[in-house]
Amino acid sequence: MALPACAARALGPPLQPERGAPARTTCPRRHSRVEAELAGSRPGSVAASVRAGPPRGVSRGFNSQPLLDEPLKASSSPAGAARTPLFALLPRGRRRRMHDLRRRWDLGSLCRALLTRGLAALGHSLKHVLGAIFSKIFGPLASVGNMDEKSNKLLLALVMLFLFAVIVLQYVCPGTECQLLRLQAFSSPMPDPYRSEDESSARFVPRYNFSRGDLLRKVDFDIKGDDLIVFLHIQKTGGTTFGRHLVRNIQLEQPCECRVGQKKCTCHRPGKRETWLFSRFSTGWSCGLHADWTELTSCVPAVVDGKRDARLRPSRNFHYITILRDPVSRYLSEWRHVQRGATWKASLHVCDGRPPTSEELPSCYTGDDWSGCPLKEFMDCPYNLANNRQVRMLSDLTLVGCYNLSVMPEKQRNKVLLESAKSNLKHMAFFGLTEFQRKTQYLFEKTFNMNFISPFTQYNTTRASSVEINEEIQKRIEGLNFLDMELYSYAKDLFLQRYQFMRQKEHQEARQKRQEQRKFLKGRFLQTHFQSQGQGQSQNPSQNQSQNPNLNVNQNVTQNLIQNLTQNLSHKENRESQKQNPGQEQSDGNTSNGTNDYIGSVEKWR
């Protein structure tokens, strides 16, 4: 079947297939498609330009004539006449695909055009806004020269200055921590230095009235003498951490010698082969594992001076210290420790010269240890020494017949134990609280005049804090440790009052020292001024008398000022001598003002 006449005229002479091309077929439709493909393979042909589509960046828009399924009418131009029958020869599916491709091409071009124009309009408006702002701020500069050029230069200068500041900040303070601190300094107010570690306000309402002697704890501890610090270590109160601070973290003339792999350290006095610290990490458990107040008061003197003759024993001062903890947290921590296999079987519990019998102190378990015991079983044992442990270890057990519960009624026994523990705690040289590590460090340094090398760290996440208990179990634990709860409340009140008293006393001493320094400098200035003036008057006495008839009055004033200055200097020397002798009554009178102010503030808080 021959081609139509219009197609023959458009294609011209028949195309000869190239070598290797498919042979001519008798199917008209397939023959037309092969002819179109051969014509499109030639460079510069019309079919090639149609298949390639519009050039990049050129769009015919939505108003261009679509490719319809019907044959297009022949145009009057030769190009149109040649293009119309060629599109008519293409298959219908291919014409639809070419039509969809052109529509997508036009949509992409439209989106790019809209985006470009939008960004240009936004930049133009932003330029005008910045120009208006700079014209308001830098009016005199904007009136000279071209505003757009000046605004661009000023904006560039500001950007360069910002980048330079960022680079300098990175060199001065690398990392993000310092930058975050600076941002917090701008966004949040300065923290309160009196804020406590447990995020509660340190300005509390005191419950107990304490005298000045109870609040002011200043121990005249001479490490070169014969005095001894005795650490009473109660289980699960953070005593291990505090004990390590005592042997590894104190600034001393002769530090403790701690060897790798050994728990005990050698803490000798300067120039002597004698220890100044009686604790787990210096002398070991010399009086038994976790010896209590009753054991230590009778054991320590015998251990320290047992080998000496009674006539050659020095008169020592034993300064007892300890650490307390919240009773519920301490109880849960001990339970978890017992679960891991702790027994404390090496504890002697010596009282009145003998350990308790098995009837006086029965055991809560039958095996080698109590590992894996649940909390309910731990609480159900009536002989569990974890109940009210802090009161029992701080009280004098000889007052209640040691571990013999038949000596007095239980209510009377509990009352005696609690009062004894409070009295011993109040008269101790120092005690700290696990929940207030920084305040504990501060009070120890002020009490013994010994400074730590590095600050204490407050650990709010412990094994006890990981135990989740409901309100019922917490109430039961508080009931089992009701004596410890009362003792801890008393100790916390005394501890915080001591801290506030020492801080106020420190501030008053610093203020008084600054006032004395200002008075001394002012007196020196007046003294040198009047002396130079007196020398000038003595050189020309007749001239000065003729010029200044009130010379005698000025000389009297000068003499009075000099007398006042000498009196102030003498008072200062007296105060310095009184500070060197704090045992005198005058020094107590000087510091009584701070005490009265603090006690007065306590009454106001009430």
Sequence-distant contacts of 128-135: CB under 8 A, at least 24 apart: 130/155
Is residue 434 within 8 A of residue 491, CB to CB? The reply is no
What is the per-residue pLDDT for 166? 76
Closest alpha carbon to 330 in 438, 241, 267, 239: 239
What is the per-residue pLDDT for 539? 58
Residue 282 predicted with pLDDT over 90: yes
The type of residue at 200 is S
Residues 6+ apart with CB under 8 A from 398: 294, 351, 352
Percentage of residues in the chain with pLDDT exceeding 70?
61
Percentage of residues in the chain with pLDDT exceeding 90?
43
The type of residue at 76 is S
How far is C-alpha 379 from the geometric centre of its chain's CA atoms?
A: 36
d(CA 63, CA 411): 105
Residue 419 predicted with pLDDT over 90: yes
Residue 246 predicted with pLDDT over 90: yes
What is the per-residue pLDDT for 339? 93
- Token code pair at residue 333: 């921590």
Is residue 233 within 8 A of residue 282, CB to CB? The reply is no
d(CA 400, CA 408): 7
Residue 211 predicted with pLDDT over 90: yes
Tell me the average pLDDT of the chain: 76
Residue 102 predicted with pLDDT over 90: no
- Token code pair at residue 197: 């570690």
- Token code pair at residue 61: 């828009």
Per DSSP, the residues of 334-354 read HHHHHHTT---TT----BTTB
Is residue 488 within 8 A of residue 432, CB to CB? The reply is no
CA atoms lying within 13 Å on the CB side of residue 228:
21
Residue 604 predicted with pLDDT over 80: no
d(CA 539, CA 454): 62
Least confident interval from 16-30, 344-358, 497-511: 16-30
Residue 503 predicted with pLDDT over 60: yes
Who wins on pLDDT, 554 or 266? 266
d(CA 483, CA 421): 10
Closest alpha carbon to 37 in 28, 27, 29, 47: 47
Is residue 3 within 8 A of residue 24, CB to CB? The reply is no
For residue 563, name the pLDDT band (cuts at 50, 70, 90).
Answer: low
Residue 7 predicted with pLDDT over 90: no
Residue 3 predicted with pLDDT over 60: no
Residue 562 predicted with pLDDT over 80: no
Choose, from 31, 99, 245, 290, the residue flagged as catalytic: 290
Closest alpha carbon to 40 in 110, 107, 76, 90: 90
Who wins on pLDDT, 454 or 606? 454
What is the per-residue pLDDT for 124? 75
Which residues make beta-bridge pairs with 318? 228
Residue 382 predicted with pLDDT over 80: yes
For residue 209, name the pLDDT band (cuts at 50, 70, 90).
Answer: very high
Closest alpha carbon to 40 in 57, 15, 68, 19: 15
What is the per-residue pLDDT for 499? 95
Closest alpha carbon to 246 in 282, 210, 213, 221: 282
pLDDT in tens, 302-359: 999 877 766 677 788 999 999 999 999 999 999 999 999 999 888 999 999 999 999 9
Measured N-to-C along each axis, helices 585-605 and 482-539 cross at an angle, to the nearest 10 degrees, of 120
Is residue 235 within 8 A of residue 334, CB to CB? The reply is yes
What is the per-residue pLDDT for 88? 62
Q: β-strand 265-266 against 277-278: which pairing, if any?
A: unpaired
What domains, with CATH codes, occur in the chain? 197-206+215-509 (3.40.50)
Helix, coil or strand: residue 229? strand
Helix, coil or strand: residue 431? strand
pLDDT in tens, 151-184: 677 777 787 788 778 777 665 554 444 444 444 4
Residue 504 predicted with pLDDT over 90: yes
The type of residue at 479 is G
Mean pLDDT to the nearest integer, 540-560 = 52
Is 99 a known active-site residue? no
What is the per-residue pLDDT for 76? 44
Residues 6+ apart with CB under 8 A from 7: 32, 85, 89
What is the per-residue pLDDT for 64? 43
For residue 55, name the pLDDT band (cuts at 50, 70, 90).
Answer: very low
Which residues make beta-bridge pairs with 351? 354
pLDDT in tens, 188-206: 444 444 444 544 444 668 8
Who wins on pLDDT, 506 or 545? 506
Who wins on pLDDT, 72 or 453? 453
Mean pLDDT to the nearest integer, 437-459 = 94
Residue 606 predicted with pLDDT over 90: no
